[in-house]
Structure 1
Amino acid sequence: MARPPRFDTDQILDAAVQLAASTGPAGVTMSAVAQAIGAPSGSMYHRFPGRTALLAEVWLRTVERFQEGYFIALGSAPEPRGAARAAARHVVSWSRAHPQEASLLLYGAEQFGRADWSAEHRERADRGNEHVFDSLHLLAEVLGAKGPMDHERVILALIDLPLSLVRRHLRAGHPLPPHAEALAEESAAALLTAD
């Protein structure tokens, strides 16, 4: 009977998240992750064929976990403005609950080597992004969007604005202030009621 692996994939990716949050994507190397969990460097290659695959998986696992909650937030209210407010709030509340993962996502997929990812990894990332933007497009339509500016307004309110609030604090090494969720939600609501 084969011996179970000492380190599972989630342990490896958790260590990679911690490294990315503290040192940036450049600090996420096979040997640095192995050292962080006390594993031999060679054992990393049993899970990932190389650093590119490790970077892709740590990015994708993180963004998919964020997106899962985002879609729940978008579907959480019976009316579209409530759903929009919930989605803006989710960006901040998820970042508060997962500051290391949020710090990682602030870099962007390109800094995690997206250009060198496998076709499967790129397709996975594209599917997630398309799902987000399709959902926001649909929400904009339900909110009465009349053109490109209205669609941009929804993206600004539900993605760009709450992310900028998170980015400013996390990049400065400060915790998110207690009022951050309310501010993101109120700002999104104000943008979505603009003419």
Structure 2
Amino acid sequence: MARPPRFDTPLLLDAAVRLAAESGPAGVTMAAVAASAGAPSGSLYHRFAGRSALLAEVWLRTVEGFQEGYFAALKSSDDPRAAGRAAARHVVAWSRAHPDEAALLLYGARDFGQDSWSEEHRRRADEGNRRVLTSVRELADTLGASGAQDIERVSLAIIDVPLSLVRRHLRNGSPLPPHAEELAEQCTGALLAG
């Protein structure tokens, strides 16, 4: 019976997330991840074709993990305003529970070398982006918002407002205040009521 790998992919990606949170995407090198995980470099090259594949997986795993809860929040109620408020709350609560991943998401996919990603990695990223845009449009439709300005207001409410609250605190190196989820929910609710 084969022995299980000592350095599995999630462990290596966790080390890469920590490095990205501390030093940004530039800090995520094959050697740095191997050293952080206490793994031989071969363990990384066995799982990732190179740094580009590693960066893609770090970014995509983080985004997909966040989006899973975000989409669930948007489907959490038949009341579209309540669902929008739940999504805003999720952004803040997830960021509080996953500070390293939230710090990583302050960057963009391009910062993680998106132009060099494989076709499969780009497809996954595009699919996630399409799901977000579709969710915004569906919520806007349910709210009766049809014009470009209304759709922009919904996007501002469920994406930009909670993210700006998180971003301000993470960039300042300060913890999210205890009332952050409630504040994000209230601001989102006010925008969705309009």
Query: Which residue does 1:82 correspond to in 2?
Result: 82
Q: Does 1:67 align with 2:67?
A: yes
Alpha-carbon distance between aligned partners in 1 of 2:148 and 2:110, rounded to the nearest angstrom: 26
Query: Which residue does 1:140 correspond to in 2?
Result: 140
Alpha-carbon distance between aligned partners in 2 of 1:171 and 1:117, rounded to the nearest angstrom: 27
- Alpha-carbon contact 2:17-2:100 (below 8 Å) kept: yes
Alpha-carbon distance between aligned partners in 2 of 1:77 and 1:43, rounded to the nearest angstrom: 44
| Percent sequence identity over aligned pairs | 71
Alpha-carbon distance between aligned partners in 1 of 2:137 and 2:190, rounded to the nearest angstrom: 19
The equivalences for 1:40-189 within 5 A come to 40-189=40-189
Alpha-carbon distance between aligned partners in 2 of 1:86 and 1:116, rounded to the nearest angstrom: 35
Alpha-carbon distance between aligned partners in 2 of 1:154 and 1:174, rounded to the nearest angstrom: 28
Alpha-carbon distance between aligned partners in 2 of 1:167 and 1:74, rounded to the nearest angstrom: 21
- Alpha-carbon contact 2:70-2:90 (below 8 Å) kept: yes
Report the alpha carbon displacement of residue 3 of structure 1 after superposing the two structures with TM. Answer: 3.6
Query: Which residue does 2:16 correspond to in 1?
Result: 16
Amino acid at match of 1:112: F
Amino acid at match of 2:58: V
- Alpha-carbon contact 2:88-2:159 (below 8 Å) kept: yes
CA RMSD across the alignment: 0.9
Alpha-carbon distance between aligned partners in 1 of 2:146 and 2:36, rounded to the nearest angstrom: 52
TM-score of the pair, normalised by structure 2:
0.98
Alpha-carbon distance between aligned partners in 1 of 2:49 and 2:116, rounded to the nearest angstrom: 13
Report the alpha carbon displacement of residue 135 of structure 1 after superposing the two structures with TM. Answer: 1.1
SS in 1 for 2:46: coil
Alpha-carbon distance between aligned partners in 1 of 2:126 and 2:33, rounded to the nearest angstrom: 26
Report the alpha carbon displacement of residue 42 of structure 1 after superposing the two structures with TM. Answer: 2.0
Structure 1 unpaired stretches of 5+: none
- Alpha-carbon contact 2:81-2:193 (below 8 Å) kept: no
Alpha-carbon distance between aligned partners in 1 of 2:38 and 2:133, rounded to the nearest angstrom: 40
Amino acid at match of 2:8: D
SS in 1 for 2:47: coil
Matched length: 194
Alpha-carbon distance between aligned partners in 1 of 2:140 and 2:190, rounded to the nearest angstrom: 15
Report the alpha carbon displacement of residue 97 of structure 1 after superposing the two structures with TM. Answer: 0.5
